[in-house]
Amino acid sequence: MHLLLSVFATEWSFFRFLRDKNKEYAYHIPCLLFLSASLMWFVDSIFEYLEKGTEIFTPNLQDLVQDGFLGLSVIALGILIWQGKLFLNYLQKQKSSVPNSLGQKGAVK
Protein backbone atom coordinates (compact mmCIF):
# COMPACT_ATOMS: atom_id res chain seq x y z
CA MET A 1 0.00 0.00 0.00
CA HIS A 2 2.80 2.44 0.87
CA LEU A 3 4.53 1.65 -2.43
CA LEU A 4 1.34 2.30 -4.36
CA LEU A 5 0.69 5.61 -2.59
CA SER A 6 4.24 6.84 -3.15
CA VAL A 7 4.10 5.88 -6.85
CA PHE A 8 0.87 7.88 -7.24
CA ALA A 9 2.48 10.84 -5.44
CA THR A 10 5.51 10.54 -7.74
CA GLU A 11 3.31 10.55 -10.83
CA TRP A 12 1.34 13.55 -9.61
CA SER A 13 4.43 15.60 -8.81
CA PHE A 14 6.19 14.57 -12.03
CA PHE A 15 3.27 15.67 -14.22
CA ARG A 16 3.01 18.93 -12.28
CA PHE A 17 6.78 19.36 -12.76
CA LEU A 18 6.38 18.97 -16.52
CA ARG A 19 3.55 21.53 -16.65
CA ASP A 20 5.33 24.14 -14.49
CA LYS A 21 7.18 26.04 -17.23
CA ASN A 22 8.48 28.85 -15.00
CA LYS A 23 9.67 26.47 -12.27
CA GLU A 24 7.85 28.77 -9.87
CA TYR A 25 6.51 26.03 -7.60
CA ALA A 26 9.63 23.83 -7.40
CA TYR A 27 7.85 20.58 -8.24
CA HIS A 28 11.23 18.89 -8.60
CA ILE A 29 11.46 18.64 -4.81
CA PRO A 30 8.38 16.45 -4.18
CA CYS A 31 9.14 14.56 -7.38
CA LEU A 32 12.58 13.56 -6.11
CA LEU A 33 11.33 12.86 -2.58
CA PHE A 34 8.51 10.58 -3.70
CA LEU A 35 10.60 8.91 -6.40
CA SER A 36 13.30 8.03 -3.90
CA ALA A 37 10.67 6.68 -1.46
CA SER A 38 9.14 4.61 -4.25
CA LEU A 39 12.50 3.15 -5.23
CA MET A 40 13.33 2.38 -1.62
CA TRP A 41 10.05 0.55 -1.05
CA PHE A 42 10.34 -1.27 -4.38
CA VAL A 43 13.74 -2.65 -3.40
CA ASP A 44 12.34 -3.50 0.04
CA SER A 45 9.48 -5.39 -1.60
CA ILE A 46 11.90 -7.38 -3.74
CA PHE A 47 13.94 -8.44 -0.71
CA GLU A 48 10.77 -9.22 1.26
CA TYR A 49 9.57 -11.41 -1.62
CA LEU A 50 12.90 -13.23 -1.69
CA GLU A 51 12.66 -13.77 2.06
CA LYS A 52 8.99 -14.67 2.55
CA GLY A 53 7.85 -15.83 -0.86
CA THR A 54 4.32 -15.39 -2.13
CA GLU A 55 2.76 -14.74 1.28
CA ILE A 56 3.46 -11.02 0.84
CA PHE A 57 0.72 -10.94 -1.80
CA THR A 58 -1.97 -11.81 0.77
CA PRO A 59 -1.50 -9.35 3.64
CA ASN A 60 -3.98 -9.15 6.47
CA LEU A 61 -6.11 -6.08 7.08
CA GLN A 62 -3.93 -4.74 9.91
CA ASP A 63 -0.82 -4.73 7.68
CA LEU A 64 -2.74 -2.92 4.93
CA VAL A 65 -3.91 -0.23 7.33
CA GLN A 66 -0.43 0.22 8.80
CA ASP A 67 1.13 0.42 5.32
CA GLY A 68 -1.53 2.92 4.27
CA PHE A 69 -0.80 5.15 7.25
CA LEU A 70 2.93 4.86 6.56
CA GLY A 71 2.41 5.91 2.95
CA LEU A 72 0.18 8.82 3.90
CA SER A 73 2.61 10.02 6.56
CA VAL A 74 5.50 9.98 4.09
CA ILE A 75 3.42 11.92 1.57
CA ALA A 76 2.48 14.45 4.26
CA LEU A 77 6.12 14.84 5.28
CA GLY A 78 7.19 15.31 1.66
CA ILE A 79 4.52 17.97 1.12
CA LEU A 80 5.57 19.69 4.35
CA ILE A 81 9.22 19.81 3.21
CA TRP A 82 8.14 21.11 -0.20
CA GLN A 83 5.92 23.81 1.32
CA GLY A 84 8.76 24.83 3.64
CA LYS A 85 11.03 25.30 0.63
CA LEU A 86 8.36 27.37 -1.13
CA PHE A 87 7.94 29.50 1.99
CA LEU A 88 11.69 30.11 2.22
CA ASN A 89 11.73 31.11 -1.46
CA TYR A 90 8.83 33.49 -0.80
CA LEU A 91 10.64 35.09 2.14
CA GLN A 92 13.80 35.45 0.07
CA LYS A 93 11.88 37.19 -2.73
CA GLN A 94 10.19 39.51 -0.24
CA LYS A 95 13.51 40.36 1.38
CA SER A 96 15.12 41.21 -1.94
CA SER A 97 12.15 43.32 -3.12
CA VAL A 98 11.90 45.53 -0.01
CA PRO A 99 14.28 48.51 -0.27
CA ASN A 100 16.54 49.27 2.64
CA SER A 101 15.23 52.68 3.69
CA LEU A 102 17.80 53.12 6.47
CA GLY A 103 20.79 52.79 4.19
CA GLN A 104 19.55 54.94 1.31
CA LYS A 105 21.04 58.35 0.76
CA GLY A 106 18.62 61.20 0.38
CA ALA A 107 15.93 59.58 2.48
CA VAL A 108 13.49 61.95 4.12
CA LYS A 109 14.10 62.33 7.83
CB 86 within 8 A of CB 16: no
Which distant-in-sequence residues (6+ apart) come within 8 Å of 25 by Cβ? Answer: 16, 86
Rounded percentage of the chain residues whose pLDDT exceeds 70: 89
Angle at CA 47, nearest 5°, toward 76 and 8? 30
Residue 19 pLDDT > 70? yes
- The pTM of this model reads 0.76
Burial class for 18, CB neighbours closer than 10 Å (0-12, 13-18, 19+): exposed
Question: Which pLDDT band, with edges at 50, 70 and 90, does 99 fall under?
Answer: low
pLDDT tens-digit map of 47-79:
999 998 888 888 889 988 999 999 999 999 999
What pLDDT is recorded for position 105?
A: 56
d(CA 87, CA 7): 26
